[in-house]
Amino acid sequence: MKQFIRLLLAATLIYSIIYLLPGCDKLITEQITIIEAGHPTAEFIADQDSGCAPLTVQFTDKSQGPHQFWTWFFGDGDSSNVQDPIHTYDTAGTYTVSLTIRDTTVADTGEDTEVKKRFIIVGTSVKDFSVDTANGCAGLEVTFTPGIYGAVDSFRWNFGDNTAPSNDTIPTHIYTSPGVYSVSLTAMGPCGTKVITRDSIIQIDNCPVVVIGKDTSEICMGDSIVFWDSTQIDTPFVFQSRQWNFGDTTDTGTNPTITFDAPGTYEVSLTVTTDGGTATGYDTVYVYSDPAPGFKVLSPQTACKSEFQQFIVKFADTSLGSVTNRVWYFGDGDTLVGDSLPVHAYIDPGEYTVTLKVSGPCGAGEVTVDKLITLYDTLSLFDSLGVPKYSITP
């Protein structure tokens, strides 16, 4: 006697057949799988997924379920309607392949599509290369970028100006002389060597060398500097415009006078434009402020004289403004030049007045604190040989 059990899972019918064989004492179970019409699942493989152009690929339909119609798209604009097509890729690149199958025995649900992105890689090859800039003055820096398909083992760039070639993938090169330059790229890999040459791709003009003139490089806050444009423009180029940039202000004149109201380091630039190109020159201005002297004590300001330990006092310069030199007067006849964090030892008891004098590019100043340091006297119990001076009788 046979009993049939039908299970429906994701449009797939699984039948279990359970029966008892004559003369046996156990049940025998067999299971078979039947794909229902109208529910095919698309799948495919290829005999190779990479290689050199021209690359011929055998595609094989591995779809499950009943289907009688195939649509292949190979990613390069070609298609096919056969079940197991053979396709040749003639151009290096990366290709997405899709297969759509259809069961024509049903009206609505008998279709499925499988898409495999970047499935076929054809190379090795460099299609072209690009530059970030192609025209400018001597000193122009140019970055070259290859368009890469597949793998490339090595690159060799020739920049056309009789300089050493580069083996970098994305090189940067500086053109130092006027001229028109052709650039070539040689790409080498398992599919051979490809050379790409772009004629006259780089043009370097004989632009002016910008020269900034000024009456000084260092001034005090609130003072002015006179600048002038010393650029010489050779024929046949014609001057068009100039642009000064002083960090916090701009100007277009030939001889601007600029006042700096805040201390700091200012980067000055002058950009000159001719009908042959644009060039920029740079310079630096240092602006100082008036010194404002000040100091503080970093250790105790009073102590008692000890037979065993010196009285050490630590000071710190807290002056504001531009200070290039300082002199300390510690009040006991000793002085110190230059140190911003001095340490001084006081030997004799007394009260000491401390003075700090500072100076800089924009002037000088001093600050004095009276009776700042005090060293008190104490009773000495020992003579110079260490013998007690006094005896105490009980």
Please report which confidence band the pLDDT of residue 278 belongs to, taking 50, 70 and 90 as the band edges: confident
- Mean pLDDT (whole number) for 31-36: 53
Q: Which positions ≥6 away from 152 have C-beta within 8 Å?
A: 124, 126, 146, 187, 188, 189
Which of 51, 54, 46 has the alpha carbon at shortest distance from 88?
54
pLDDT higher than 60, residue 21: no
Lowest mean pLDDT across 215-229, 233-247, 379-393: 379-393
The Cα-based distances of 194 to 75, 87, 338 in angstroms read 24, 24, 67
Averaged confidence pLDDT in the chain: 86
Per the model's pLDDT, the better-predicted residue between 1 and 233 turns out to be 233
pLDDT higher than 60, residue 127: yes
- Mean pLDDT (whole number) for 105-118: 86
- pLDDT computed for residue 297 by the predictor: 97
* Model pLDDT for residues 49-91, shown as the tens digit of each residue: 988 888 999 999 999 999 999 999 999 999 999 999 999 998 8
Q: Which positions ≥6 away from 8 have C-beta within 8 Å?
A: none
Whether residue 139 contacts residue 146, with contact meaning beta carbons closer than 8 Å, is answered with no
- pLDDT computed for residue 99 by the predictor: 97
Tokens of 87: 């396709």
- pLDDT computed for residue 40 by the predictor: 92
Burial 134-160 (b: 16+ CB within 10 A, else e): bebbbebebebebebbbebeebebbbb
- pLDDT computed for residue 323 by the predictor: 95
Model confidence pTM above 0.85: no
Helix, strand, coil fractions of the chain, as percent rounded to 5 = 0, 60, 40
- pLDDT computed for residue 383 by the predictor: 60
Whether residue 201 contacts residue 192, with contact meaning beta carbons closer than 8 Å, is answered with no
- Mean pLDDT (whole number) for 1-10: 34
- Mean pLDDT (whole number) for 105-116: 85
Per the model's pLDDT, the better-predicted residue between 211 and 53 turns out to be 211
Please report which confidence band the pLDDT of residue 124 belongs to, taking 50, 70 and 90 as the band edges: low
- pLDDT computed for residue 391 by the predictor: 53
